[in-house]
């Protein structure tokens, strides 16, 4: 599995694994409680591999941000909690991504990134970040 199969669904907590496609959408399984849901095209769905974080220079793929958190935390749960204060969350994110754009990246976005990282860590899915990095390197070499 890769980050292309991990989804964030607007209005639903946590992350979902893409299980199967249907005629009107697809079936996804929650990483929080393993319940399966049917998702239609009316739902706003984001694939983790397509999400990026604004910096002052460019947009950094979420994959790279999650990898930096993984490296900082030695693949353990994040040392900051999603419910911590706005200042603590921003201070932590500055350690991860010093040039992130404070005007366009809100505390709620930081909370979400930390929650997602913790979910991926809990489900032993952080190796997906390594798979993506290896695939990127292979693409560049070809």
Nearest CA to 116 among 55, 57, 54, 53?
Answer: 53
Nearest CA to 64 among 111, 96, 101?
Answer: 96
CATH of 3-48, one of 3.10.20, 1.10.3470, 2.30.30, 3.30.160: 2.30.30
Q: What is the pLDDT of residue 4?
A: 87
Q: Where in the chain is the domain with CATH 2.30.30?
A: 3-48
Q: Does 1.10.340.30 match the CATH number of domain 51-141?
A: no
Distance CA(28)–CA(38), nearest Å, equals: 6
> What are the Cα distances from residue 97, in Å, to 22, 67, 92?
38, 11, 9
Distance CA(92)–CA(86), nearest Å, equals: 10
Helix runs in the chain, H state only: 62-73, 86-96, 107-122, 127-141
Q: Where in the chain is the domain with CATH 1.10.10.1650?
A: 51-141
**Per-residue pLDDT reduced to its tens digit, 21-80:** 998 899 999 999 999 999 998 899 999 999 999 999 999 999 999 999 999 999 999 999
**Per-residue pLDDT reduced to its tens digit, 108-133:** 999 999 999 999 999 988 887 775 44
């Amino acid at each position: 599995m890769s980050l292309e199969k991990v989804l964030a669904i607007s209005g639903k907590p946590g992350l979902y694994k893409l299980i199967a496609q249907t005629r009107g959408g697809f079936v996804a399984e929650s990483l929080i409680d393993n319940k399966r849901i049917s998702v239609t095209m009316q739902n706003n769905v984001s694939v983790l591999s397509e999400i990026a974080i604004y910096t002052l220079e460019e947009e950094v793929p979420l994959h790279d941000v999650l990898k930096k958190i993984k490296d900082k935390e030695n693949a353990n749960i994040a040392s900051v909690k999603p419910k911590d204060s706005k200042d603590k969350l921003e201070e932590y994110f500055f350690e991860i991504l010093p040039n992130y754009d404070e005007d366009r990246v809100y505390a709620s976005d930081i909370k979400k990134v930390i929650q997602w990282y913790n979910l991926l860590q809990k489900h032993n899915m952080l190796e997906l970040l390594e798979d993506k990095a290896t695939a990127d390197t292979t693409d560049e070499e070809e």
